[in-house]
Amino acid sequence: MTVKKSLVTVLSLFAVAVAADPAPVADLSRSSSQGISTQTTARSGSVSERLAALERVVDARAAAQLAMQQQLETLLTEVSELRGTTEEHSYKLEQILQQQRDIYQEIDRRLGGAVAGSVSSQATGPAQQEAVVPAGNPAAVVAADEAAAAESAASTPQIAATGQLNEAQAYEQAINYVVKDRNYAAAIPAFEDFIKNYPNSEYTSTSHYWLGQLYYQKNEFAKAKTHYERVVKQFPNSSKVPDALLKLGLVADKQNDAAAAKKYYNQLIKSFPKSKAAATAKAKLESR
C-alpha cells in the first residue's frame, strides 16, 4: 500500500509540473517566423534603395544629355545666323564695289564723249590738245571730271546761266552727290527731279533704286519700299530687280513682317536663282 501511494504521489507531482510548464513549441515557431520576416524586409528595403539610386543616376544622365543637346542646337543656330550675316555683309560690300565700278565707267564714258565733242567742234584753241580721259582709272576719271566741269562751265555759258541740264548731266550730277560729295540730302531731290523730267530714260530704274538706298539708310523704310517696288514692277528687265527684291525682303524684316520678307526672298530665289542676291536670300531664310 505504501509503495502504491508513493507511486501515485510521484505521478501526481509530475502531472502538476507538466501542466505548470508546457513545452515552448509555440514560442519557437513565433520567433522563427519573426526572424524570417525581418530578413525579408531588410532585403526588400535594400533592393528598393538600389533601384531608387539607379533611377536617380539615369535621370541625372538624361538631364545632362538634354542640356548638352539644347546647347548644341543653340550653337548651331548662332553659327547659322552668323553665316547669314557674313554673307549679307559680303553681298553688300560687293554691291557697293559694283555700283562704284558702274558709276565710274559711266562717268568715264560720258566724260570721254564730252571731250571728243569739244575737240571736234573747235578748229583751234588749247582745248584741241586735251588728252582723252583714260578708261578704267577711277582716280583719273574723278580728276578729269573736275577739269571737264570747269571747261564745260566756260565753254557752255548758257547751261550755267539757265541752270538747265540735259539728261546725262542731270543723272551725272545726282550720282556725284552720292559718290563724290557724300551729300545725300542733295542727292534725293536730284534723283527725284531726274525721274520727273526723264520718266522714260534708261537710268530711271537705277534712279529709283538709288532713292530706295538713300531712304533705307535714313530708316525711312516706307519710302524705300515704294522705290524698290517701282524697280520690280515698272522695270522688270532692269539689272537692279534682284537687288530690289532683296532690299524689299530686308525692309519687311525691318518692319517685323516676316511673311512678306519670306515672300520676297522666295520670289528672288525663284526668279534669279544664280544671282548673288539670291544667295543672300537663301542665307536669310536658313537663319530663321
Q: What is the reported pTM? A: 0.47
Q: Which residue has the higher pLDDT, 18 or 206?
A: 206
Instruction: For residue 199, give every residue at least 6 positions away whose Cβ sits within 8 Å of its Cβ, in sequence order, or none.
Output: none
Task: Give the domain ranges of the chain.
Answer: 88-120+130-164, 182-288
pLDDT at 101: 63
Query: How far is Cα 49 from Cα 62, in angstroms, rounded to an integer?
Result: 20
Note whether 232 and 241 are within 8 A (CB). yes
pLDDT at 270: 96
pLDDT at 257: 95
State percent of the chain over pLDDT 90. Answer: 39
Q: Which residue has the higher pLDDT, 4 or 53?
A: 53
What type of residue is 71? Q
| pLDDT band, residue 5 (cuts 50/70/90) | low
3-state SS of the chain?
Answer: CHHHHHHHHHHHHHHHHHHHCCCCHHHHHHHHHHHHHHHHHHHHHHHHHHHHHHHHHHHHHHHHHHHHHHHHHHHHHHHHHHHHHHHHHHHHHHHHHHHHHHHHHHHHHHHHHHHHHHHHHCCCCHHHHCCCCCCCCHHHHHHHHHHHHHHHHHHCHHHHHHCCCCHHHHHHHHHHHHHCCCCHHHHHHHHHHHHHHCCCCCCHHHHHHHHHHHHHHCCCHHHHHHHHHHHHHHCCCCCCHHHHHHHHHHHHHHCCCHHHHHHHHHHHHHHCCCCHHHHHHHHHHHCC
pLDDT tens-digit series, residues 217-262? 999 999 999 999 999 999 999 999 999 999 999 999 999 999 999 9
pLDDT tens-digit series, residues 16-43? 554 555 544 445 455 455 555 555 555 5
| pLDDT band, residue 78 (cuts 50/70/90) | confident
Helix 276-286 with 241-254: angle, nearest 10 deg? 30
Q: Which CATH class is domain 182-288?
A: mainly alpha
Mean pLDDT for all residues in the chain: 73
238: left (phi over 0), alpha (psi -120 to 50) or beta: beta
> Across residues 71-85, what is the average pLDDT?
75
> Across residues 201-224, what is the average pLDDT?
94
pLDDT tens-digit series, residues 143-191? 444 444 434 333 333 333 345 678 989 999 999 998 888 899 999 999 9
Query: How far is Cα 278 from Cα 88, in angstroms, rounded to an integer?
Result: 11
